Every structure is written in structure tokens, then in C-alpha cells.
């Protein structure tokens, strides 16, 4: 009898044990469930991130990304608008002579499409200052930009000697890293630039610089057969056809820190030390002034330059003898550069019609109705010219940029 009791107790114990074991297993599997899910979720995130990084890299290298990739990048860029509020985009321009209206039109194009706030640094001859104030102080969208007016100046050290050697207006841009000492990065543009897409998008190239790059520019020519530097220059120049300095993105912190290789001494020189000897040496051989000096500097320091594609600095040279900027044909013009006065004469009506359209557009009016549509009609009248024949590339990106403005507004950004 006792034996039976013992066996029964044993069985009960075993049963209890197995029951407990069962419960503990169940509990364990329940615990593991969410943990397992978490792992899965992480797994799924990793390749997406990698894809984005790879897409970004390709875009910088080739200057062109597929639509989906570009969309991703845009989201990345604009979604951080709020957190980046401290980081303004700094834009500098040098205006002399009759350039007031042209400069204001450039600034307006920057304001229309850009997302992050802009800080303008306007270097102008004294007689233009009141003109700038009068116009900029009454522009709408004051929350999107701020500006500072400067006289044409040289760095305070050696100002007298600088003045003897450099023509003030033409060479002002070379001194920006030394004058704007507190500014980390800067986009310098000529007055005859028009933005057809947000400044944010060219500003973003700063983040793509590798560790040795300090500035970004576009080639002077796409087609060596009509290139200027490779046929005529009597000084060294960057790459195959040289670089154009009309749109110049700079990390000035890096420019100020860098020691530059050069062909004047075996010692490396800082930015503030290299300009004067360079000018003295090449004075008789340079044609385009400061752009030539930049070409000489980057010839000796090619690892410092980030080259962006021609659609970010699109000039008449890219179409007057036939189209040779392939990226613009594919994706449209991003930044238009009407050099040689083409906004103001009859030589390249396609360029002039873009200038007029932006100049005449009133802030607050519908961009499609009051800017894009009249522009397209004007461009269609230019099809007798080489540039007019491919007029669609003048509005391809512009159309997207306008759509993006309205998309952002509808989302309240």
C-alpha cells in the first residue's frame, strides 16, 4: 500500500515537473517571439541603408542618379531641414558696375526654390548698396533669407600691396576665405547665374567631399575641340579643359587650413600666402584673371577639387555649336550661367528668355502660370538657334522644382 502511495507521489512529482518544464518552455518561446521579430526588423533596415549610401555615392561620382534614388536623396536632405536650422546656406556674390538688377534676379531665383534658410554675402561697389537695400528689404519671404552688404575689400593684412596687384572687383572672390573668417562653407556665384533648383541640392555636395577635397567646380568645357585652356592657355590648368569658377562651392575651413603645393617654392603655402606670388609670376600670361589663378592652384593640387557635372554650371558654350552637355540633356539644366552678357543681348534668346521670366515673376504668383508657361512659349520662339533647338532642357528641371515647391507647401514645409 505504502509502495503504491510512493509510486503515485513520484508520478505526481514527475507530472508536475514536466508540467513546469512545459510552462517554462512556453514562456521562453513567448519571450523569444518579440526578440526574434526585432532581429528581423533590423535585418530589413540594414540593406535599405546600404542601398541609400551606395546610391548617394554613385550620384556624386556620376552626377546623375536614377529617379527613385534621387527621390531618396531629396527626402534625406529635406527631412533634416528642421534639425539643420542652425546650418544656413551661405551664398556670396560680387556686384560691380551695372550688375544690380542681374544680381537681384539671381538672388530671387535662389529664394524661390530653396528650402533651408539662406545667408547672402553681397560684395558691391558703394554706389550699389542703397539699391540692394531698397529691393531686398521689401522682398517677401524674409524668413527664408538674410543678407549682409560689404564694400569691395581686401584682407586687412597687406591691403595696400593687394590693391597694387589685383583689380578689386575681379579678384574679390579669391579673398572670401580670408575675409569671411567665421563662415565655414560658401557657395560663390557670378551675378549672371540663375538657380533652377534649390541651392540645398548643390550645398549637399559639401557632404560628399572626401577628406582631401576643399572646393567644387564644373569643367570649363565638355568638348576639348572648342576648349579654351587646352588650345590657348599659357599657364597650367586643371584637367583636360580647365575649370569654370562661375559656380564655386567652397569648404573655407579646409581652404584656410590647407598647405598648397605650388611651382614657386618647394615649401607649401597657405591660401593667404599663395595668391600674391602666383599673380606676380603669371601676371603676363593670364587672360581670365582669378579663374586662371584657380586653375593653376588646382593643377598643382588636383586631389583637392570635387568636379560636378556641367548641368550645375550651364553656359552658352554647351549649346551654341551644338549640344555637348550630356547630363543636361538627360536631366535638364540645374544652374544656368548666362556669361558673355547673353541675358541682355539678342545673341542667345533661349538664355535671355529664362532671365526675363524670372525677373518678371512676382513673388506670390502661381509659378506654373506666371513663370513656367510664359517661359515655355518664349522658348518655343528660339528654335532657330542651336540652344533653342534643345529648349526643353531649359525647363525640364525647372518644372520639377516648381512641382516640389507646391508639394512642400501642401505639406506645410
Ligand X SMILES: *[C@@H]1O[C@H](CO)[C@@H](O)[C@H](O)[C@H]1NC(C)=O
Element (H, E) at 122: strand 118-124
| Nearest to ligand X of 67, 82 (CB atom) | 82
| Nearest to ligand X of 184, 376 (CB atom) | 184
| Nearest to ligand X of 162, 299 (CB atom) | 299
Of the candidate spans 248-256, 266-274, 286-294, 346-354, the one that interacts with ligand X by CB under 6 A turns out to be 248-256
Q: By CB under 6 A, is residue 42 in contact with ligand X? A: no
Chosen residue from 29, 51, 71, 285 binding ligand X by CB under 6 A: 285
How many chain residues touch ligand X (CB under 6 A)? 20
How many degrees, rounded to 5, is the angle at CA 186 between CA 185 and CA 192?
165
Q: By CB under 6 A, is residue 76 in contact with ligand X? A: no
Find the length of the chain.
413
Of the candidate spans 165-173, 247-255, 339-347, 387-395, the one that interacts with ligand X by CB under 6 A turns out to be 247-255
Q: By CB under 6 A, is residue 148 in contact with ligand X? A: yes
Contact assessment for residue 227 and residue 170, using Cβ atoms and an 8 Å cutoff: no
| Nearest to ligand X of 117, 168 (CB atom) | 117
Tell me the C-alpha distance between 231 and 229, whole Å: 5
Chosen residue from 256, 261, 268, 281 binding ligand X by CB under 6 A: 281
Tell me the C-alpha distance between 295 and 266, whole Å: 19
119, three cell numbers: 545667408
Transcribe 174-237 into DSSP letters.
Answer: GGHHHHSTT-SEEEEE-TTEEESS-HHHHHGGGGG--TT--EEEEES-S-GGG-SHHHH-SS--
- Residue 33 φ/ψ, nearest 5 degrees: -50, -60
- Exposed / middle / buried, residue 150 (Cβ in 10 Å: 0-12, 13-18, 19+): middle
Tell me the C-alpha distance between 408 and 84, whole Å: 17
Q: By CB under 6 A, is residue 146 in contact with ligand X? A: yes
Q: How far is the CB of 44 from ligand X (least distance, A)?
A: 31
| Nearest to ligand X of 245, 385 (CB atom) | 245
Q: How far is the CB of 339 from ligand X (least distance, A)?
A: 25
Q: How far is the CB of 315 from ligand X (least distance, A)?
A: 23
| Nearest to ligand X of 141, 282 (CB atom) | 282
Binding mask 176-215 for ligand X (x = CB under 6 A): --------xx--------------------xx--xxxx--
Place of cell 555636395: 205
Q: How far is the CB of 203 from ligand X (least distance, A)?
A: 8
At 123 the three-state DSSP class reads strand
| Nearest to ligand X of 156, 210 (CB atom) | 210
In the chain, helix, strand, coil percent, each to 5? 55, 15, 30
114, three cell numbers: 530653396
Q: By CB under 6 A, is residue 133 in contact with ligand X? A: no
| Nearest to ligand X of 210, 410 (CB atom) | 210
Find all residues with CB under 8 Å of 403, minimum gap 6, and list them.
Answer: none
- Residue 199 φ/ψ, nearest 5 degrees: -55, -30
Q: How far is the CB of 368 from ligand X (least distance, A)?
A: 31
Tell me the C-alpha distance between 298 and 305, whole Å: 7
Q: How far is the CB of 214 from ligand X (least distance, A)?
A: 8
Tell me the C-alpha distance between 404 and 334, whole Å: 14
Transcribe 125-141 into DSSP letters.
Answer: -GGGHHHHHHHHTT-S-
| Nearest to ligand X of 253, 265 (CB atom) | 253
Of the candidate spans 246-254, 267-275, 347-355, 368-376, the one that interacts with ligand X by CB under 6 A turns out to be 246-254
Q: By CB under 6 A, is residue 265 in contact with ligand X? A: no
Chosen residue from 32, 130, 253, 360 binding ligand X by CB under 6 A: 253
| Nearest to ligand X of 71, 142 (CB atom) | 142
Q: By CB under 6 A, is residue 251 in contact with ligand X? A: yes
Footprint of ligand X (CB under 6 A): 146, 148, 184-185, 206-207, 210-213, 234-235, 251, 253-254, 281-282, 285, 302-303
Amino acid at each position: 500500500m505504502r509502495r503504491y502511495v510512493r509510486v503515485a507521489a513520484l508520478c505526481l512529482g514527475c507530472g508536475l515537473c514536466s508540467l513546469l518544464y512545459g510552462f517554462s518552455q512556453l514562456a521562453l518561446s513567448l519571450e523569444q517571439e518579440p526578440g526574434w521579430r526585432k532581429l528581423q526588423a533590423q535585418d530589413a533596415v540594414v540593406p535599405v541603408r546600404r542601398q541609400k549610401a551606395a546610391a548617394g555615392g554613385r550620384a556624386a561620382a556620376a552626377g546623375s542618379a536614377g529617379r527613385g534614388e534621387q527621390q531618396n536623396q531629396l527626402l534625406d536632405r529635406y527631412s533634416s531641414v528642421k534639425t539643420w536650422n542652425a546650418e544656413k546656406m551661405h551664398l556670396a556674390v560680387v556686384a560691380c558696375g551695372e550688375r544690380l538688377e542681374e544680381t537681384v534676379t539671381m538672388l530671387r531665383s535662389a529664394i524661390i526654390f530653396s528650402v533651408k534658410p539662406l545667408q547672402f554675402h553681397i560684395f558691391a561697389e558703394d554706389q550699389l548698396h542703397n539699391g540692394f537695400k531698397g529691393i531686398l528689404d521689401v522682398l517677401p519671404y524674409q524668413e527664408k533669407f538674410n543678407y549682409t552688404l560689404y564694400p569691395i575689400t581686401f584682407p586687412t593684412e597687406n591691403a595696400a600691396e593687394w590693391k597694387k596687384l589685383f583689380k578689386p572687383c575681379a579678384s574679390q572672390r579669391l579673398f572670401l576665405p580670408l575675409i569671411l573668417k567665421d563662415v565655414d562653407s560658401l557657395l560663390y556665384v557670378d551675378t549672371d547665374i540663375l538657380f533652377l533648383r534649390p541651392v540645398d541640392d548643390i550645398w549637399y555636395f559639401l557632404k560628399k567631399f572626401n577628406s582631401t577635397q576643399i572646393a567644387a567646380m564644373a569643367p570649363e568645357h565638355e568638348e576639348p575641340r572648342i576648349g579654351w585652356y587646352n588650345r590657348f592657355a599659357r599657364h597650367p590648368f586643371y584637367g583636360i579643359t580647365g575649370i569654370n569658377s562661375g559656380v564655386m562651392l567652397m569648404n573655407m575651413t579646409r581652404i584656410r587650413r590647407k598647405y598648397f603645393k605650388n611651382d614657386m617654392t618647394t615649401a607649401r603655402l597657405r591660401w593667404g600666402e599663395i595668391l600674391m606670388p602666383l599673380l606676380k609670376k603669371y601676371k603676363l600670361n593670364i587672360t581670365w584673371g582669378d579663374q586662371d589663378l584657380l586653375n593653376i592652384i588646382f593643377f598643382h593640387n588636383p586631389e583637392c577639387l570635387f568636379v560636378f557635372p556641367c548641368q550645375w554650371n550651364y553656359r552658352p558654350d554647351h549649346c551654341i555649336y551644338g549640344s555637348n552637355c550630356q547630363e543636361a540633356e538627360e536631366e535638364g539644366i540645374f544652374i544656368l550661367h548666362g556669361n558673355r552678357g547673353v541675358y541682355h543681348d539678342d545673341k542667345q534668346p533661349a538664355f535671355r528668355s529664362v532671365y526675363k521670366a524670372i525677373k518678371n515673376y512676382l513673388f506670390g504668383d502661381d509659378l506654373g502660370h506666371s513663370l513656367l508657361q510664359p517661359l515655355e512659349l518664349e522658348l518655343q520662339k528660339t528654335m532657330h538657334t542651336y540652344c533653342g533647338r534643345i529648349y526643353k532642357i531649359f525647363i525640364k528641371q525647372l518644372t520639377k522644382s516648381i512641382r516640389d515647391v507646391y508639394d512642400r507647401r501642401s505639406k506645410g514645409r
